Structure 1
Amino acid sequence: MKKHIYNLFLIVLSVLFTAACSSDEPDYNRSVITIGNTEKTEFDKWLEANFVNPYNIAFKYRYEDIESDLDYYVVPAEYNKAVKLAHLVKYLCVDTYNEVAGTDFTCEYFPKMFFTIGEWEYKNNGTFILGTAEGGRKILLSGINYLDQYIENAQMLNHYYFKTIHHEFTHILNQTKAIPTEYQLVTGNGYVADNWSEEPYNEIYLSRGFISSYAQHSYQEDFAEMMSIYITNDADSWEALLKEADKESEALIQQKLDIVKNYMLTSFGIDLDTLRSILQRRQNEVFSGKVDLEDLTIK
């Protein structure tokens, strides 16, 4: 009797397994996970022509556990979302720095790898990681599967993705040219490390002389936040932000901004206002429909 029941169980299990496999057969030509010698998609060919060949930049959209932080539960980026993001990274970041500083600058300093994952990396303090930079060569971008929710809103798109890229790129530049010592002294006693996300620091940062709550973490994060927030906001948005601070705090923020501007100009020959102007123009061109975010034609 036990033998018959066991055999029946194996038959049922086999049927279920076969049905599951036949009804959910993966498309290996568009896999979002690295599985051996995956055949190149049209997207792979587009990436090769627009990132790899001209700049030696790898844009990895398939999931690779070796590139992931195993301390977090993550999922692969969706194929169509990755296509759109790659177009945006090229037009708003790579091409922007080409225009302001030349392709030699981009080839020398821009990160050599982007790795995307679909979900945010959630921390146990109620915050989540938008992106990280590693060793001056790699930028991780998370939450890619939410891209369509923000793709028509410049403020949200910058907040969740592109401010992150410019922020992390600033860290990479800082590894080449150190942050001036004078920057560390402007609000030197105001840094609160991981307490930046807790009350009252998550609400009173402007009155303390910081451009964002995360800027209170350390002078390194403060510097990166100052640059990335400045260039992703137009003049009106920036002024509106400063109006929330009192005169003394606004002066501290302006003092730090002046140091960032001088750093970029003397270290890399980049006028920060010119960079912001170019970025804002390109951003408007994206939202006006000038850029087809799904076109994989190789030109």
Structure 2
Amino acid sequence: MKKQIYKLFLSVLLIAVAACSSDEPDYNRSVITPGNTESTEFDSWLEANFVNPYNIAFKYRYEDIESDFDYYVVPADYNKAIKLAHLVKYLCVETYNEVAGVDFTCEYFPKMFFTIGEWEYKNNGTFILGTAEGGRKILLAGVNDLDRYIQNANMLNHYYFKTIHHEFTHILNQTKPIPTDFQLVTGNGYVADSWSEEPFNQIYLSRGFISSYAQHSYQEDFAEMMSIYITNDEASWENMLEGASSESLALIQQKLDIVKSYMSTSFGIDLDVLRNTLQRRQNEVFSGKVDLEDLTVK
């Protein structure tokens, strides 16, 4: 009986060893299967509309090296990335072309857009809409939520296009520094990361700030002033300021005047012309003039 059990055990062991022998790793083949990197119709469209005329890369495929490892993120949806690329082209790139000229766009506009599907959530209840890095790259988050907001101009601006203009302002500020007098208007009012906490998230207007995030630092204040001003028409801007005291309105107006002067003297851009052009183009998008899914290369 013992000999039979031993023979049975030995047979099972030999079978197991034989099975495992086929599991030897193939060192010439990666176990990680890369995503689809074959050229698509969208790639051809991006090359014709971003790469060739402006040397701008619009990256819609997920690349971990371009993302922030501090956050859990997901890739951008292919079809939503197409719509966003059209919107960036028409509402940002070509808006600056029209107002400041193609040379301005080629020189100053960021050379890379990297998109991810989800927002970057922080542990304080806020989340990051986008970031600018080194004067060359803008991260656009939340692409997979685009269809939720694409029919609402206020929401589309809040989640996407104010972010682009905000981050582009930072890039311009790296080229031409923010005037010192701007820093002094509400110099004692900046509260760093406390901007999202009570009472600062409620009383920012009365403190002379156009948004709660503007209270973070003078750099964010400057970018908020410019991006919010140009993404809102005159009526919307006035509604935002409704209820503010004359003192706080004077502070906001003082800062806006400095932003306007900065854009005019540093880059030859009339901020009101930029706003009117952007508003017209935005209305053209919502009227259906722009086909956000067309990938015809012209």
TM-score (norm 2): 0.89
CA distance in 1, matches of 2:36, 2:241: 52
**Equivalent AA in structure 2 for residue 62 of structure 1:** R
- What residue number does 1:71 align with? 70
**What is the Cα deviation at residue 35 of structure 1?**
3.4
**Equivalent AA in structure 1 for residue 126 of structure 2:** T
- What residue number does 2:139 align with? 140
Residues 174-217 of structure 1: CA deviation (Å, up to 9, x unaligned)? 00000000000000000000000000000000000000000000
- What residue number does 1:212 align with? 211
Residues 100-149 of structure 1: CA deviation (Å, up to 9, x unaligned)? 00000000000000000000000000000000000000000000000000
- What residue number does 2:276 align with? 277
Secondary structure at the counterpart of residue 243 of structure 2: coil
CA distance in 2, matches of 1:38, 1:251: 54
**What is the Cα deviation at residue 245 of structure 1?**
1.1
- What residue number does 1:89 align with? 88
- What residue number does 2:117 align with? 118
Change (3 A) 1:76 1:37: closer
CA distance in 2, matches of 1:145, 1:240: 30
Q: Which runs of 4+ in 1 moved over 6 A?
A: none
CA distance in 2, matches of 1:70, 1:36: 19
**Equivalent AA in structure 2 for residue 282 of structure 1:** R
**What is the Cα deviation at residue 38 of structure 1?**
2.1
TM-score (norm 1): 0.89
**What is the Cα deviation at residue 36 of structure 1?**
7.6
**What is the Cα deviation at residue 244 of structure 1?**
2.8
CA distance in 2, matches of 1:76, 1:161: 17
Structure 2 unaligned regions, length at least 5: 1-7, 20-32
Asked if 1:224 is matched to 2:223, the reply is yes
Whose radius of gyration is greater, 1 or 2? 2
Asked if 1:80 is matched to 2:79, the reply is yes
CA distance in 2, matches of 1:285, 1:245: 32
Secondary structure at the counterpart of residue 201 of structure 2: coil
Residues 12-40 of structure 1: CA deviation (Å, up to 9, x unaligned)? xxxxxxxxxxxxxxxxxxxxxx9388221
Secondary structure at the counterpart of residue 34 of structure 2: coil
CA distance in 2, matches of 1:259, 1:135: 24
**Equivalent AA in structure 2 for residue 78 of structure 1:** D
User: How many residues are treated as equivalent by the alignment?
Assistant: 273
Q: Share of identical aligned residues, percent?
A: 85
CA distance in 2, matches of 1:133, 1:233: 22
CA distance in 1, matches of 2:110, 2:214: 22
Structure 1 unaligned regions, length at least 5: 11-33
